[in-house]
Structure 1
Amino acid sequence: MLAAPVVDTPASVAGTPSLLVVDAVASALIAPMSFVLERGACTVVRGPSGAGKTRLLRLIADLDEGTGEVLLQGAARSSMPAPAWRRQVVYQGAESAWWQPTVRAHFLPEQYRELDQLAAALALEPDRLDADLSLLSTGERQRATLIRSLLARPKVLLLDEPTSALDRDNIARVEQLLLSRMQEGLGLMLITHADEQAARLGGQLVQVQRRA
């Protein structure tokens, strides 16, 4: 299903705002885009190389300059400070930055139990959480980044090719974890080049188009 202009939806008419409403979001590169993401749903972002798929996610996360508006449960992005928005609408790049020497050092002690549980769910060995990050493979860092994003407890998670460095078994583990979080109400936007993954996770397709 391709993106369409935002209109009054049954949820908004009923008084329960949609999780995320993207209204005419655009940049110098991307033509205006409008769509709705509901709780527990996944939207797959498609488009040719260079169309601006990553830029769209970064615009929604308020990381890049652009036009248009985004609403989270009825609250406009423009009405809140950027850090407050980004805690609820989290963007995760394919290879995210780390600023501490180990994965575990990025978390508080009270988060360690859930950190270990998520690491086990993603087949990330406990010793890898305490190893120097430079010794982790790209796939291990990718799984650790997903854990970091989930432990931030966002309402919306924007994922830019989150399994690009993973083998089939680890892709399945990531997808199972994401599906379980979606059942709890997490909204997901996903860039993926794998049609099979899009079919397994995505309920809606939006096509990014460059400005003419």
Structure 2
Amino acid sequence: MSPTLIELRSASVRFGAKTALAGVDLAVRRGERIALVGANGSGKSTLLRAAHGLVPLAEGERIVGDGSTRVAMVFQRPFMLRLSLLANIELGLLLQGVPRALRRERALHSLQRVGLAAEARRNARVLSAGQQQRAALARAWTLAPDVLLLDEPTASLDPTAKREVESLIAEFAAQGMTVLMSSHNLGQVKRLANRVLYLEHGRVLADVSTEEFFGGPLPAEAALFLKGELPWT
């Protein structure tokens, strides 16, 4: 079995009186492509943030590999500084302690990788939504993470931009990068994931292979979700 890179044990997250995550157990193993699915408010984004360590756990624990596991996250709406695209990429390398002589080379290489080398000197904030999402992937990829966390990576993108971003994610995964992503796009889940977690009210109700999720028996709530019959709550 592949080594575990991130593990959550009985993890709970609360925001005031609201429980956003309740007793979640999750082991993310090297090479996996895991999709988190569920209705809005089910806890997908909170689970991603808990896996990254961006939100404190009210209960449970988070364990990260052997201490050297590198984790990067791309948010649904990537934040770009009012700087050139190249400077936005270089900043992450600066914070990682990469020497100046190597930062420019690695940043340019990452932009070339995602097809944005020609935009390197442009203000990152004037790029289209699809370009910004690709830039955010470049910024994450250049840090050479072991685990890439993606929160709705193609939300609000047009079909062409979605295909471009999906292609990049698939390429990174094919090279051995572990991916944990949330998505409302079930077609995207079929294309990119090999494991699916279904969440409802902050709890994981199903944790199965992609083939089982779309073709096997599921808990009643997950089956209703697949049919588009999840009731309003």
TM bucket, shorter chain: 0.7 to 0.9
The residue number in structure 1 matching 2:186 is 195
Q: Which has the higher strand share?
A: 2
Q: State the Cα RMSD in Å.
A: 2.4
State how far apart, in whole Å, the 2-side matches of 1:134 and 1:21 are: 35
Matched, 1:103 2:85: yes
Number of matched pairs: 187
The residue number in structure 1 matching 2:31 is 40
Deviation at 1:199, TM superposition (A): 0.4
Contact kept? 1:17, 1:74, Cα under 8 Å: no
State how far apart, in whole Å, the 1-side matches of 2:113 and 2:125 are: 22
Match for residue 3 of structure 2 among 3, 14, 17: 17
State how far apart, in whole Å, the 1-side matches of 2:160 and 2:72 are: 25
TM-score scaled by length of structure 1: 0.76
State how far apart, in whole Å, the 2-side matches of 1:211 and 1:167 are: 30
Matched, 1:129 2:115: no
The residue number in structure 2 matching 1:4 is none
Deviation at 1:117, TM superposition (A): 4.3
Give matches, 1:37-186, under 5 Å: 37-66=28-57, 67-75=59-67, 88-106=70-88, 107=90, 110-124=102-116, 126=118, 128-186=119-177
Deviation at 1:109, TM superposition (A): 5.3
Q: Find runs of 4+ consecutive structure 1 residues off by over 6 angstroms.
A: none
Higher relative contact order (Cα pairs below 8 Å, separated by 6+ residues): 1
Greater C-alpha radius of gyration: 2
Contact kept? 2:80, 2:125, Cα under 8 Å: no
